[in-house]
Each structure stands twice: as C-alpha cells, then as structure tokens.
Structure 1
Amino acid sequence: MDGYQAEFAEFDTAAGVARSAAEQVAGVDLKGSMTQAKAGMPGSISEQSMGRLADSWLYARVSWEQSAVGYADGLGISKRSYQNNEQAAAADFGGHGR
C-alpha cells in the first residue's frame, strides 16, 4: 500500500443519509404518543411515569437529530479538508493527483 485516496462522493452520500435520517426523526412525535397513552390511564402510577418518559423521549429525539446533523456537517468539513490537502500535495508534486 503506497497511500490513500479519499472518495469524495462517499462523503456526500454519507452526509445526505445522515441528514435524511435527522429529517425523518424530526417528524416523529414520541411525546405526543406518550401523552395519549397517559390519558388512557388516569390516576395510575403509570400515568406519572409516562409523563416523565415522554419528556425523556423528546429530549433523546432532539439530541439524536442534532447529533446526526452535526455528523453530516463534520463529513462536509472533512471532505473539504481532504480536498484541500490533495490540492496542496498535487501542487507540491508538480500537479500530479486529482
């Protein structure tokens, strides 16, 4: 093995998949589902637990969504960094490279 070659299209594909997943998850109303279930158990011990669980699920969903978008952003930054490094290396070695 005499080096590496970054596959720039793969960065874009992976970032697109991560963004798509974040968009899909954003539309899921976990808290609303738990609120409906909670309404079906008035006065029960489970009713109190479902309220806390609904809040936890909402926080977890939003956190996951933000992480997925951050991951996609990081892939874009990495791609640009690899491209810049390859361009600099090509210039250093007389224009050979991508």
Structure 2
Amino acid sequence: MLRQDIVARPRRVVLFTLASAAGAALMLASEDALFRRLIPWLLLFVTLLFASGPALNRWLARREVVAGAGAATMSEGDVALYGGYFGAGLGV
C-alpha cells in the first residue's frame, strides 16, 4: 500500500493488520507438527497462485470480470492472514 492509500482507507489498514495478527496468533497456537505438515501445501498453494497469475488475469480481462470492493478486500484479507501465518512468497 502506498502512503496515500493508507491515509485514504484507514479501515482497510486496520482490517489487514488484524488479519495479519490473526495469522500470527494461529501460528503461535498451532503445534510444530501441524506446521511441518502444512509447509509443503502452503508452498504449493503460493507457487500455483504465482504461476497461474498471468493466465488468470488474461482470463478475467477477456470476460471483463470486475471484482467488487468486497471481494477484493476479502482476497487481500486472506493474503494478510496467510502472511501473518507463513509469509513465504509474499514478496514475489
């Protein structure tokens, strides 16, 4: 987010901060064995998402699909939750 986005949408910043904190809380609450079992699946998920991103964008553009503000905020909230829990691949 850019600084002007943060100033213009403080509720979204709070929402994403809370989602990220919830992910971190889940990480702390989960047992080591569970986390070790989830790592390959989390890495697979982020890899598939990254690899399919351009094709997904082209598909959505061809169909002129426009996500509503609620869907976009929910998707970004999911990413914040994932980032708080695991974080791998978010910088890509």
User: RCO higher in 1 or 2 (8 Å CA, sep ≥ 6)?
Assistant: 2
TM-score exceeds 0.5: no
Bigger Rg, structure 1 or 2: 1
TM-score, normalising length from structure 2? 0.35
